[in-house]
Amino acid sequence: MSTRDDDLKADLLQGTLDLLVLKALSLSPMHGYGVSRFIRERTDGVLTIESAALYQALHRLERRKLVRAKWGLSENNRRAKFYELTAEGRRQLQTETDALRSYVEALFLVLDPR
């Protein structure tokens, strides 16, 4: 694979991870482990997110003001950073969900022609 192909793959994976994180946080504020667990459970273990990639995504989304963070106590009474969607994050989630849905539908028109 060329560097350009690697860059495209990285952008696709990063965008997909961001979308998954936004979706998880649309349900309720969560700490990083909660986001990871949500994605793993909703995909029956097919998708597991490495901690480093997850926290890079959370920090990237925070810099873009799509999520905000505040400290709180986790379910096992440990101090943890909880992330929640901002209004802009909710709009971005809808925009990206619509775009991905259109993209996937177009792919299946090619992969499964009628």
User: Model confidence at 113, in pLDDT bands (50, 70, 90)?
Assistant: confident
First-to-last C-alpha distance (Å) of the chain: 32
- Least Cα distance to 81 among 59, 52, 50 occurs for 59
Q: pLDDT by residue (tens digit) across 10-60?
A: 455 667 999 999 999 999 999 999 999 999 999 999 888 999 999 999 999
Instruction: Say what the pTM is.
Output: 0.84
- Longest alpha-carbon distance in the chain: 55
C-alpha span between 76 and 78 (Å, rounded)? 6
Token readout for 110 is 């090619």
In a 13 Å sphere around the CA of 68, the CA atoms on its Cβ side amount to 5
Distance CA 91, CA 3 (A): 32
- Nearest by Cα to 89 from 70, 59, 68: 68
